Amino acid sequence: MTTILDLPVEEYMLPGNRSCAGCGLGIGLRYILKALDGKCIMVVPASCLTVLGGMYPVSSVRVPWINSVFPGTAAVASGVSIGLKALNKENDYTVLAMAGDGGTVDIGIQGLSGASERNQNFLYICYDNEAYMNTGTQRSGATPRGVKTTTTPLEGKRHNPKDMPKIMEAHNIPYVATACVAYPIDLYDKVKKAKDIKGLRYIHLLVPCPSGWQYDPKDTVNIGQLAVETGAFILYEVENGELRLTGRSRRIAMGGKLKSIDEYLNLQNRFLKFTPEEIEEYQKEINQRWEILVKRDKSLQKEEN
Amino acid sequence: MKTILEKGPKTETQKNPKSYPSGTHIITGNQATAIGAYLSGVQVVAAYPITPQSPVVEELARFIESGELNAEFVHVESEHSAMSVCIGASIVGARVFTATSANGLAYMCEQLHWASGSRLPIVMACVNRAMAAPWSVQNDQQDSMSQRDAGWIQLFCRNNQEILDTVIQAFKIAEKVYLPVMVCYDGYILSHTVMPVEVPNAKDVQDFIPPYVPHTPIDLKKPVNINPVTLPDPRQNADGIVCHGYLEHKYLHHTALRESFPVIEEIDNEFKERFGRSCGGLCSTYKFDDAKIVVVCAGSISLLSSIAIDMLREVGIPAGLLTLRTYRPFPNEKLLQLLHDKKLIVTIDKSLSYGYQGPICVDLKSALFESSSDTLLIGYIAGLGGRDVKPYEIAEAVYETWDKYNKGKIVKRDLTEAKWINCKY
C-alpha cells in the first residue's frame, strides 16, 4: 500500500495558479501528475482546469498541455494517442484527458462514448464539481437533485444526476474508478494502476468547490471526506466487470458505519432548500446505492469469510 | 469485435506499403481523393460517413485494412470528432486527412476555427453538397462557402484529375504555411462520375512532399501549454519577454493566409515540372485575352461554362472564362490584374450569402472596387440543391447580359440583386 512517504518528490505543478481559494482541483492534479511521473500529454477542454493552467504566455503546470473545445476532449485525446501510435511514440507518454462534469456527462458524452467504444488508448479523468463552475455554477447533468444553482435558483434542480461511472462501465472499457481529492493516496494508486492498462481508462474524481457548493474554502478536504463517509460519494474501481470498494469506503464496508447525510449537507449552502422529508429521501437513496455496491464487491465477502 | 488497438502487430507488407499502380485509371472524384491521400503518405485518417463523401472514407479504410497503406483509421462517431482527432494527431506530428460534406462540415464548424487558429496543416476534402433545410444530398457549394471565414485555405477543383493533383499539392502547401487546406469539389458531378485520371508514381509523390515537421514539438523537457486563454493585449512571459495578445495571433494567422498566394502558385508550378500538369495556381482562364464579357465561377461548372463560351463565340459574342481555384485566401490582386480592363463580368455562384448575393460575386465586387474602370458585374445564382445547369443556360444568361449592355439597358437592380438561372418560381 502506498503511503505518503512513497510519493515521488518531483512536483509537476508550479507554485501558484489561478484557481479559486480552496479549490480541490489543484490537490487532485498534483497527485495525478505525480502518479504519471509527469510523462503525459494533457488534453483539456474549456473548463476550470483551463483557468488553473494559466493564461498565455505563462503556465502553472510542467507537462505538455493541449487545450481543446468543450465537446472535443475525448476525440482530441483519441487523435493524440492515435497520432503517437502512427509515429511509434505510443509508449513514451500517457495521454491524459481531463474534463469537468459538464464537459463529460453533458456536452462531451458523445465523443467520450465513441472513444470508449473504440477503446482508444488514453486515461480520461472527469473532475466532478457537480455543476458548470467555470461559467458560474449553472446546473449540469451531474448536479445532485435539489441543489441550488444559478440556473435552478429558486426550487433547486428537479432531476437526478447521471451515474457517469455506471455509463462508462456499460462501455466495457478495461478500467473504471471513482476517487475523491480528499483521499489523494487512493487517487494516486488508481492513476498509477490505470497508467499501466492499455485502452480507455476512466476515473470519476469528486472535487469539492467552495464557490459553487457555498462553503468555507478551508473545508474542502473536510467536505470531500464527509462525501465519502456519508456515502454520498463512494470510492470503488471496476476491472473486467469486477467491482471493488477502495480506501475509506472499503474500510466503512468492512466494519464501520456510514455517517448521517446531515453532516455533509449542513456544511454547504447549496442544499439550503432541502426539507426534512427530502433529506430523509436522500438518505434512503444513499443507503440503497451503498447496499448495491457493497453487495457487488465479491472481494469484500471473501475477506469477511 | 476488434478495435484498432486490439489489431495484431503489423505485418511485413504493412511496413512496406505497396505502391499504388501508376498510370491512367478510370475513376471517380472520390477515388481520386482517396488515392491522392494515399500517395501523400497520410498517417492518420479520421472520418465519418456522409453522402456524397462516403466512398472516400470507404476507399481509405480499405487501403488501410488491407495493409496497402500504413496508416491508422479512426472510426469516429461524428464529424466534430473527426476534426478533433485530426487536430490531436496533427499536433503530435502525424500527417492527417479527413473528408466531409454539407451538414458534416457545419457540424465541424468550431473545430475548423480551432484547426486554423492552431495553424495545423490538416488536409480535408469537402465534397460539395447543399445545406439543409430542406434535405438535399445533391450538389451546390453552400457548405464550403459558408465556412469561408474559418481561416482555411480553400481550393476548388474542376475535374477528377485536379482533385487528385490538388490533394497532393494541398499537403505540401499546408505543411509549408502551417494552415489547413480544404479541397472542394462538386458532389456527384465529380464525386460519383468516372473520368480518366493520371495517377503518379508513389515514390515521386513522396519526393514531392517533404516530411511534416510540427511548428510546436511536444517535448517533456520543454513542456508547452498549447492554445491557453490569451488576453487581448501582449503580455510578458516568465523570462520577461513580451508575447503576443489574441489580436496579434489573429494578425499572424491572417498574414499567413495572405502570404500563401506565391506558395500556392509555386507549388502548382513545381508540380507541373514534375508531373506535367497544372491546376492553374490561383485561377485559370479560357478564351480570355480578347474577351469583352467574362464569366467567373469555381468548380466543375467551369467545364460547362467553357462549353457556353464556345457557343457564344460561335455566334460572335467575345466571351471568356475565369475559373477561381483558390477562393480563400481570395486572390484579389491577381483578379484585379486580370479583370481590370474588362467592362462586363458575369459571376455564377452555386451558393448564396442569404440576404445579399453570391459569395464569388460579392468578393469579386470588393476586389474590383479599386479598379479605375467602370466594370459592370452581374451575379447569377445557379444549380442550388443539385438543379442541373446546362451550358446553354449559362450561354443564355451571358447573352442576355451582353445584349442588355449593348442596348444600354442594364439597370441598377441588375447590379445589386442576385439573378437566378432556371428558377421556376
* ipTM over cut 0.85: yes
Q: Which of B188, B208, B228 is the last residue of a domain?
A: B208
3-state SS, residue A50? helix
Characterize the bridge pairing of strands A242-245 and A236-239: antiparallel
Among B105, B113, B53, B106, residue whose Cα is nearest residue B87: B113
Judgement on whether residues B307 and B196 belong to the same structural domain of the protein: no
Whether B315 and B184 map to the same domain: the answer is no
Tens-digit pLDDT profile for residues A105-119:
999 999 999 999 999
> Confidence class of residue B21 from pLDDT cuts 50, 70 and 90?
very high
Which three cell numbers mark A243? Answer: 467491482
Residue A205 has pLDDT above 70, yes or no: yes
* Confidence grade of residue A13 (pLDDT, cut at 50, 70, 90): very high
What amino acid occupies position B182? Answer: M
B290 and B189 in a single domain? The answer is no
Report whether pLDDT(B13) > 60.
no
**B147 is in which domain, residue-wise?**
12-208
For residue B69, tell me if it sits in a domain.
yes
Average pLDDT over residues B235-262: 97
Q: Which residues contact A220 (CB under 8 A, 6 or more apart)?
A: A22, A23, A24, A27, A181, A182, A208, A210
Nearest-CA distance B75 → chain A (Å): 8
B39 & B161 share domain: yes
Total of domains in chain B:
2
Residues B72 and B176 both lie in one domain: yes
Interval B58-81 mean pLDDT: 97
Tally of structural domains, chain A: 1
Residues B198 and B290 in one domain: no
Task: Report CB contact under 8 Å: A77, B44.
Answer: no
In a domain, B133, yes or no: yes
Q: Which of B160, B192, B208 is the last residue of a domain?
A: B208
Question: Of B148, B180, B208, which residue constitutes the final position of a domain?
Answer: B208
Q: List the 159-198 stretch of B: residues with Cβ below 8 A of A.
A: none
Place of cell 464556345: B310
- Predicted confidence (pLDDT) per residue in B279-320, tens digit: 999 999 999 999 999 999 999 999 999 999 999 999 999 999
Percentage of the residues of chain A whose pLDDT score is greater than 90 = 94
CATH number where B103 lies = 3.40.50.970
Residues 6+ apart with CB under 8 A from A275: none
Q: Is the pLDDT of residue A61 over 90?
A: yes
- CA of B86: which chain A residue's CA is closest? A79
**Is B259 among the domain residues?**
no
pLDDT of residue A160: 95
Tell me how far apart the alpha carbons of residues B50 and A18 are, in angstroms, rounded to a whole number.
Answer: 43
**C-alpha dihedral (B101, B107, B111, B115), degrees to nearest 10:** 10
**pLDDT at residue B11 greater than cutoff 70:** no
Q: Quick: pLDDT tens for B133-147.
A: 999 999 999 999 999
Contacts of A85 in chain B (CB under 8 A): 72
On the 0-12 / 13-18 / 19+ scale of CB atoms within 10 A, A305 is: exposed
Same domain, B203 and B315: no
Q: Please tell me the predicted confidence (pLDDT) of residue A303.
A: 72
pLDDT exceeds 80 at position A41: yes
Q: CATH code at A227? A: 3.40.50.970
Same domain as B290, residue B182: no
Residue B213 has pLDDT above 70, yes or no: yes
- Asked if B81 and A111 come within 8 Å (Cβ–Cβ), the reply is yes
Task: Write the CB contacts of B2 (distance below 8 Å, at least 6 apart in sequence).
Answer: none
Which candidate, B144, B163, B190, B157, places its Cα nearest to that of B328?
B144
CA distance B418 to chain A (A): 37
User: For residues B95 and B91, what is the distance between their CA atoms, to the nearest angstrom?
Assistant: 10
Under the banding of pLDDT at 50, 70 and 90, the label for residue A274 is: confident
pTM assigned to the model: 0.96
Residue B389 predicted with pLDDT over 70:
yes
- Single out the residue of A185, A194, A213, A163 nearest to residue A36, CA to CA: A194
Q: How many CB atoms lie within 10 A of CB B15?
A: 9
B141 and B58 inside one domain? yes
| Interface mutation target, options A51, A63, A78, chain B, most CBs of B under 10 Å | A78
Helix (H, G, I), strand (E, B), or coil: what is residue A236?
A: strand
Question: Mind spelling out the 3-state secondary structure of chain B?
Answer: CCCCCCCCCCCHHHHCCCCCCCEEEEECHHHHHHHHHHHCCCCEEECCCCCCCHHHHHHHHHHHHCCCCCCEEECCCCHHHHHHHHHHHHHCCCCEEEEECHHHHHHCHHHHHHHHHCCCCCEEEEEECCCCCCCCCCCCCHHHHHCCCCCCEEEECCCHHHHHHHHHHHHHHHHHHCCCEEEEEECCCCCCCCEEEEECCHHHHHHHCCCCCCCCCCCCCCCCEECCECCCCCEECCCCCEECCHHHHHHHHHHHHHCCHHHHHHHHHHHHHHHCCCCCCCEEEECCCCCCEEEEEECCHHHHHHHHHHHHHHCCCCEEEEEECEEECCCHHHHHHHHCCCCEEEEEECCCCCCCCCHHHHHHHHHHCCCCCCCEEEEEECCHHHCCCCHHHHHHHHHHHHHHHHCCCCCHHHHHCCEECCCCC
Using the beta-carbon criterion (under 8 Å), do B89 and A198 form an inter-chain contact? no
pLDDT band at B18 (very low <50, low <70, confident <90, very high): low
Predicted confidence band of residue B5 (pLDDT cuts 50, 70, 90): very low
Q: pLDDT value at position B374? A: 85
pLDDT tens digits, one per residue of B91-111? 999 999 999 999 999 999 999
Arithmetic mean of pLDDT, A157-165? 96
CB proximity under 8 Å: B 70-99 to A: 71-72, 74-78, 80-82, 84-94, 96
Average pLDDT over residues B197-212: 96
Residue B26 in any domain: the answer is yes
User: At A232, which helix (H) or strand (E)?
Assistant: none
Judgement on whether residues B20 and B165 belong to the same structural domain of the protein: yes
Q: Which residue of B has its CA nearest to A111?
A: B81
Instruction: Specify the pLDDT at position B396.
Output: 97
Q: What average pLDDT score do residues A119-146 get? A: 97
Say what the pLDDT of residue A305 is.
Answer: 61
CATH classification of the domain holding B410: 3.40.50.920
Task: List chain B residues with CB under 8 Å of A117.
Answer: 3, 77
Task: Look at the block and give the residue holding cell 476517487.
Answer: A179
Instruction: Phi first, then psi: give them for residue B420, nearest 5 degrees.
Output: -110, 135
B159 found inside a domain: yes
Name the residue range of residue A88's domain: 4-304
For residue B9, the model assigns a pLDDT of 42
Residue B14's pLDDT is: 40
Residue B7 has pLDDT above 70, yes or no: no
Shared-domain flag, residues B287 and B193: no
Q: Is B231 on the interface with A (CB under 8 A)?
A: yes
Supply the pLDDT for residue B2. 41
Whether residues B288 and B190 fall in one domain: no
pLDDT by residue (tens digit) across A168-201? 999 999 999 999 999 999 999 999 999 999 999 9
Instruction: State the pLDDT at residue A304.
Output: 65
